[in-house]
C-alpha cells in the first residue's frame, strides 16, 4: 500500500459554499472573478452577497433541500454565483455540457430528476427542448436576460429572507456531474459537500494560490477539473479567477498577457498549442509561474517543449477522476523541477493507493510493477445516482475505488499512468463512451453492427474511430453518411472522426467486443 507523504487533513464538514466563501469578508474588495473578454469584475464581497441574494430568490421560487438544479452554461462570472446560490438554497447542482444536444441534456435531466435549470440566453432553446423531453422541470432561469424567464440579475434585488437550510455535509450531495466511469453510458456521480470540500484541503499543501495570484479559467467549470482547480480552489484562498467562455488561442494568449496570469491549469491540446503554435511568440507570457496539465495523458516530450519555450519549470501534471472529487495526485509546485518526466505526481494528503495485478486483483504489486490503480480516501464519491450495481463494481467493500487505469510507482513515490484498462475515449479531456456511440450507430437503418475505439490523430488527440458493418440492403453506405448521422445527434466532442467498414465486429463468446483486435488492425 502506498500512502501520502503529507500529513492527513481533517475532513471539512462544511457546505461547499461556506467552505469556499468562508473568507470572503476577509478578502473583501479583492477581485474574485474577472471576465477575460470585457473586464467585468466581481469582488469577493460581491460574490458573497450576490450568491446569498440569488439563493433567497431561488428558495422563494420553490427550490428546496433535495432538489436538483441543472447548471447549463459556458464559463462566465455568473457561473460560480449560480452554483453557490443553488447549494445554499439546498439543491444539488448537476453541471451540463453547454454543447450538449437537447436529447443528451434531456437524458441528464430525466436521470437526475432535475426540477430547475439555470442557463444563458444563447442556449435557451436547447434548454427548453430538453425540459420538454424530460418533463418535471418547474422553471428555467437565465444568467443574463430573456423574455419570459426570470434572470439571476433581477434576483439580486430579492428581498426574500436568506434560506437557512440544515445541510448535512457528510451525506448531502453538492454536485452531480455526469461521468462514464470506467465504461458505459454517463452516470450521475454523487459528490457530497464534505467530499468536495475535503479534496480542496487535501490539494492545498501541494498546490495552492492566494491573494495576488491570477489563474485563467478556460477549462469548463461544468467539468469537475475546472470546478475544482479553477473555481472552488482559487476562490477558497483569495486568488483572482479570470474567466474565458471557450478556448480560442489568440483570446487565451491575450488574456494571459493583459491580466498577468500567474498559473495555468490546462489539458494536453493547450500544452500542444503553447509548445508549437507561432502565435505564442507574439504575446508577453512572462507573468506565468507554472503550468499544470490534467484530464488526459500528456506526452513527456511535449511537456518539455512547452516549458522550454515559455522558460518555465517543467509542465506539471495532476491525476484524478470525477468519482474522486477529483484529485488524488499532483506534481507539487515546489517540486516541479525535480519531478521525473512523465509523472502525474504524488499522492495528495490523506490518500492511499494500491497497485494490483491485472491477473489477480487480490495481489498487490510493489515499486516499478505496473498494475491497476486503486484509491482510497475521503474524496471517494458517495456513489452513482440510482445505480448501486455500478457503484459496487467501482468501489469494493473495503472502500477502494478501482480506477481502471494502469500505473506504476517509482522508488520516490511518483506515479506514472501507463495505460488504461477502461475503454473510455478521452477527447481533449472530455469523456466519450464507446458504448454510447455504438448504441447510436446501431439505430442507423443501414448499420448491421458497430464498434468504436479511440485512436490518436496527428495532433496527439484521442478520437473516436467507428468500425461499421453495413446491412446487406445498404451496400453503398458511405463514411460521410455515418459521420454526419452521428454528428447530428451528439455534442461536437463526441463526433466520430474516422469510419472503417468491416465484414464483422470481433467479439468474445460472451458478446464483448474485442477492441484489442480492432486496435491491432493495419
Confidence grade of residue 182 (pLDDT, cut at 50, 70, 90): low
For the chain, give the mean pLDDT: 95
Partners of 464 in beta bridges = 454
Bridge pairing between strands 383-384 and 187-192: antiparallel
Q: What percent of the chain has pLDDT over 70?
A: 98
Identify the pLDDT of residue 522: 81
Q: Is the pLDDT assigned to residue 514 strictly greater than 90?
A: no
Identify the pLDDT of residue 516: 82
- SS3 state of residue 113: coil
Identify the pLDDT of residue 424: 77
Spatial distance between the Cα atoms of 311 and 302, rounded to a whole number of angstroms: 14
Q: How confident is the model over 128-159, as pLDDT tens digits?
A: 999 999 999 999 999 999 999 999 999 999 99
Confidence grade of residue 511 (pLDDT, cut at 50, 70, 90): low
CA nearest 20: which of 239, 222, 263, 191? 239
C-alpha cell at 109: 435531466
What single DSSP character describes residue 97?
-
462566465: which residue's cell?
Answer: 76
Q: How confident is the model over 365-391, as pLDDT tens digits?
A: 999 999 999 999 999 999 999 999 999
Spatial distance between the Cα atoms of 114 and 130, rounded to a whole number of angstroms: 11
Q: How confident is the model over 63-103, as pLDDT tens digits?
A: 999 999 999 999 999 999 999 999 999 999 999 999 999 99
Identify the pLDDT of residue 458: 86
464538514: which residue's cell?
Answer: 13
Query: Around 444, how many Cα atoms within 13 Å sit in the side-chain half-sphere?
Result: 27
Q: Is the pLDDT assigned to residue 181 strictly greater than 70?
A: no
Residues 6+ apart with CB under 8 A from 147: none
Q: For the residues 322-344, what does the mean pLDDT come to?
A: 97
Partners of 465 in beta bridges = 453, 498
Q: For the residues 41-51, what does the mean pLDDT come to?
A: 98
> How far are the Cα atoms of 27, 34, 125, 354 from residue 253, in angstroms, in the given order?
28, 16, 32, 40
441534456: which residue's cell?
Answer: 105
Amino acid at each position: 500500500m502506498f500512502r501520502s507523504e503529507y500529513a492527513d487533513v481533517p475532513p471539512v464538514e462544511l457546505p461547499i459554499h461556506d467552505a469556499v466563501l468562508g473568507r470572503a469578508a476577509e478578502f473583501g474588495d479583492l477581485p474574485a472573478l474577472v471576465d477575460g473578454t470585457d473586464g467585468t469584475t466581481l469582488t469577493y464581497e460581491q460574490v458573497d452577497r450576490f450568491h446569498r441574494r440569488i439563493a433567497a430568490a431561488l428558495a422563494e421560487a420553490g427550490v428546496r433541500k433535495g432538489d436538483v438544479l441543472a447548471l447549463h452554461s459556458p464559463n462566465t462570472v455568473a457561473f460560480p454565483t449560480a452554483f453557490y446560490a443553488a447549494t445554499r438554497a439546498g439543491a444539488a447542482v448537476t453541471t451540463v455540457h453547454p454543447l450538449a444536444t437537447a436529447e443528451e441534456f434531456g437524458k441528464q435531466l430525466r436521470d437526475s430528476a432535475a426540477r430547475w435549470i439555470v442557463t444563458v440566453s444563447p442556449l435557451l432553446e436547447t434548454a427548453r427542448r430538453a425540459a420538454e423531453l424530460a418533463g418535471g422541470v418547474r422553471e428555467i432561469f437565465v444568467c443574463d436576460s430573456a423574455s419570459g424567464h426570470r434572470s439571476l440579475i433581477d434576483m439580486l434585488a430579492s428581498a426574500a429572507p436568506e434560506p437557512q437550510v440544515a445541510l448535512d455535509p457528510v451525506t448531502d450531495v453538492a454536485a452531480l456531474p455526469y461521468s462514464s466511469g470506467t465504461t458505459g453510458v454517463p452516470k450521475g456521480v454523487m459528490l457530497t459537500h464534505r467530499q468536495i470540500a475535503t479534496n480542496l484541503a487535501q490539494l492545498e499543501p501541494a498546490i495552492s494560490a492566494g491573494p495576488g495570484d491570477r489563474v485563467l479559467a478556460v477549462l469548463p467549470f461544468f467539468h469537475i477539473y475546472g470546478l475544482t482547480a479553477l473555481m472552488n480552489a482559487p476562490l477558497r484562498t483569495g486568488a483572482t479567477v479570470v474567466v474565458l467562455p471557450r478556448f480560442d488561442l489568440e483570446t487565451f494568449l491575450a488574456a494571459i498577457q493583459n491580466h498577468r496570469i500567474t498559473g495555468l491549469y490546462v489539458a494536453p491540446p493547450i500544452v500542444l498549442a503553447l509548445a508549437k503554435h507561432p502565435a505564442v511568440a507574439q504575446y508577453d507570457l512572462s507573468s506565468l509561474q507554472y503550468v499544470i496539465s490534467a484530464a488526459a495523458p500528456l506526452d513527456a516530450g511535449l511537456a518539455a517543449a512547452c516549458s522550454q519555450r515559455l522558460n518555465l519549470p517543467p509542465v506539471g501534471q495532476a491525476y484524478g477522476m470525477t468519482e474522486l472529487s477529483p484529485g488524488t495526485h499532483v506534481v507539487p509546485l515546489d517540486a516541479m523541477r525535480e519531478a521525473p518526466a512523465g509523472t502525474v505526481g504524488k499522492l495528495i494528503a490523506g490518500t492511499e493507493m494500491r497497485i494490483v495485478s491485472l491477473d489477480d486483483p487480490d495481489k498487490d504489486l510493489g515499486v516499478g510493477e505496473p498494475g491497476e490503480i486503486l484509491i482510497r480516501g475521503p474524496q471517494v464519491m458517495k456513489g452513482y445516482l440510482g445505480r448501486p450495481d455500478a457503484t459496487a463494481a467501482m468501489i469494493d467493500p473495503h472502500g477502494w475505488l478501482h480506477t481502471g487505469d494502469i500505473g506504476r510507482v517509482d522508488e520516490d513515490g511518483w506515479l506514472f499512468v501507463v495505460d488504461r484498462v477502461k475503454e473510455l475515449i478521452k477527447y481533449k479531456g472530455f469523456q466519450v463512451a464507446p458504448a454510447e456511440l455504438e448504441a447510436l450507430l446501431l439505430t442507423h437503418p443501414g448499420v448491421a453492427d458497430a464498434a468504436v475505439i479511440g485512436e490518436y490523430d496527428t495532433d496527439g488527440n484521442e478520437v473516436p474511430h467507428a468500425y461499421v458493418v453495413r446491412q446487406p440492403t445498404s451496400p453503398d453506405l458511405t463514411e460521410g453518411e455515418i459521420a454526419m448521422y452521428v454528428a447530428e445527434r451528439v455534442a461536437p466532442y463526441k463526433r466520430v472522426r474516422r469510419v472503417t467498414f468491416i465484414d464483422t465486429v470481433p467479439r468474445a463468446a460472451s458478446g464483448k467486443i474485442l477492441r484489442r483486435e480492432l486496435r491491432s488492425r493495419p
